[in-house]
Chain A
């Protein structure tokens, strides 16, 4: 399995997402923008759900690189305390059990491209899954 892009995940085990910290203001963003204005800033693996939706139809290709056979997936904005709110898949949870405020932790989801090249994208799952 390979990440969908370079410089998204740290090489730690388990990995963290690589955000960017604006040198002048300390503002944290994701992903790490190119250029000198931001320095790499590994983000917290734990957060809470800030908002979400369920993607019920297959997005247009291009740019969407997921499989032709579409299964709805959950998309969330996850608040990482003191850092930023990150947009990512919400994985390993029934749609009916998703609630704003629920504790989440970083994991990866599989984009499962049509060319069978297995690609990992950032995702969060309920924190209790680890317990």
Chain B
């Protein structure tokens, strides 16, 4: 089967952009991706748009041009961007279309995400007691993982330190200042073992990718990045998810494990073949757990990996080369596509100061979130 190709990538600055709506950040990303691909909006045959909290993506046709284009909105929690990309590549793979767009954007209010018990099928008392707080879950999850696999709190600090180092040299990042390990470790605790530098913040941003069939990419004379796999999975029994008043004693797999396995099977390669990875890091422990869940290392090996700097830009497997969610913030609809954008830029060798050395050929991206969903992509140059 011929590959689906990414021929254009565009991004709107992550962080806070006062006075610019989420949709307009998406529009800016689309314009930038079109120009990057050297095609016009009028050429685009279809679009999938992801947003969680910033309105209906299809309303952007108002700004981009009323061409009558097929435009489908995707709302799928933290996997929204990944789901939009999966759908877009299917539209091409099926033979229905040969040129389209996946776009994701969001704009969340300041502070922690505001979740209500009823939205998760939970009784009101659960919220009254103070449990509708995502940071609690993240903290309890990593506390268990650290206990089981003998990881230190300093490992968490090293992830944050790396994120801010990478963010400092990434133009689209929100946090642009390095923070040293000692400052991170001494910062006030938010939810033990996490301090304030170890969580990402809800933010804003937009990303768009132009996808084409192999034939179309050739016609346009583009040097494509090949999308070797895009998968999305929901949780299996016995996973541990946010807002859980009880958890099964018998522990099971994870949505990430399923999405990762399926992606490697589709791509026909393994974790050892990946040159760089973007792994969901809404908090430091997430990056650590996801290194193992995606098959890059064993449970408990992360401490050594981090001390040796293996996941830094010049390491053997650079992880979150643009600073990830920790440095870019978390606009839900845009995050998964930001990872793919970063991988495209890296594979093209256009990442400037943060460029992974030795011309990487394969790149991996992974998102995970509520209520137990995950999406993975594998790109190849």
Chain A residues packing against B (C-beta within 8 Å) = 4-5, 8, 19, 27-31, 50-57, 59-60, 62-66, 73, 75-77, 79, 81-87, 89, 95, 100, 111, 121
Could you mark each residue 108-129 of chain B with 1 if its beta carbon is under 8 Å from any beta carbon of chain A, else 0?
A: 0001101011000001110111
Contact assessment for A4 and B143 in the assembled complex, using a CB-CB cutoff below 8 Å: no
A120 CA / B176 CA spacing, docked (Å):
46
As a 0/1 sequence over residues 121 to 144 of chain B, the CB contacts with chain A under 8 angstroms (1 = contact) are: 001110111111100100111011
**Contact between chains at A5 and B249 (CB < 8 Å):** no
Residues of A within 8 Å of B307, CB to CB, are none
Residue of B nearest to A7 (CB): B123
User: Which residues does chain A contribute within 8 Å of B249, judged by CB atoms?
Assistant: 79, 81-85
Contact A55 B133 (CB under 8 A): yes
Closest A residue, CB atoms, query B139 = A53
CA A100 to CA B141, docked complex, whole Å: 12
Nearest Cβ in chain B — how far from A26, in angstroms?
Answer: 12
Among B14-22, B159-167, B188-196, B217-225, which stretch is in contact with chain A? B188-196
* Cβ-defined partner of B192 (8 Å) among A54, A60, A84: A54
The complex places the Cα of A52 from the Cα of B188 at a distance, in Å, of 18
A-B pairs under 8 A by CB, number: 104
Quick check: B140 and A51 within 8 Å, CB to CB? yes
- B1 interface hit (Cβ, 8 Å): no
In chain B, positions 140-199 with a C-beta closer than 8 Å to chain A are: 140-141, 143-144, 147, 188-193
Min C-beta distance of B210 to chain A, whole Å: 40
Q: Which of B116, B128, B143, B193 contacts A111 (CB 8 A)?
A: B128
The residues of B that contact A30 with a CB separation of less than 8 Å are 245-246
Contact A53 B136, beta carbon cutoff 8 Å: yes
Q: Contacts A50-B247, A63-B117, A73-B130 known; list 17 others, CB within 8 Å.
A: A29-B245, A31-B246, A51-B144, A52-B140, A53-B139, A53-B192, A56-B188, A56-B191, A60-B111, A60-B114, A63-B124, A63-B128, A64-B129, A75-B131, A84-B247, A86-B245, A87-B244
For residue B248, CB closer than 8 A to chain A, the reply is yes
A51 touches B141 (CB 8 A): yes
- Chain A residue nearest to B137 in the complex (CB): A53
CA distance A104 to B125 in the complex (A): 23
Q: A54-B191, A59-B132, A63-B117 are in contact. Are A4 and B125 (CB under 8 A)?
A: yes
Complex CA gap A9/B162 in Å reads 47
Task: Name the one of B123, B133, B143, B246 contacting A52, with C-beta atoms under 8 angstroms.
Answer: B143
Q: What are 16 sample pairs from A and B whose C-beta atoms fall under 8 A apart? A: A5-B123, A30-B245, A51-B141, A53-B139, A56-B189, A59-B130, A60-B111, A63-B116, A63-B127, A66-B130, A75-B131, A77-B140, A84-B247, A87-B244, A89-B129, A121-B129
The answer to whether B147 touches A84, judged by C-beta atoms less than 8 angstroms apart, is: no
Chain B residues, CB < 8 A from A75? 131, 136, 140
**Chain B hits for A56, CB < 8 A:** 188-192
Chain A contacts for B244, CB-based, 8 A? 87
Assuming the contacts A52-B143, A60-B112, asked whether A86 and B246 have C-beta atoms less than 8 A apart, the reply is yes
Chain B nearest CB, measured from A99 CB (Å): 9
A79 surroundings in chain B (CB, below 8 A)? 249
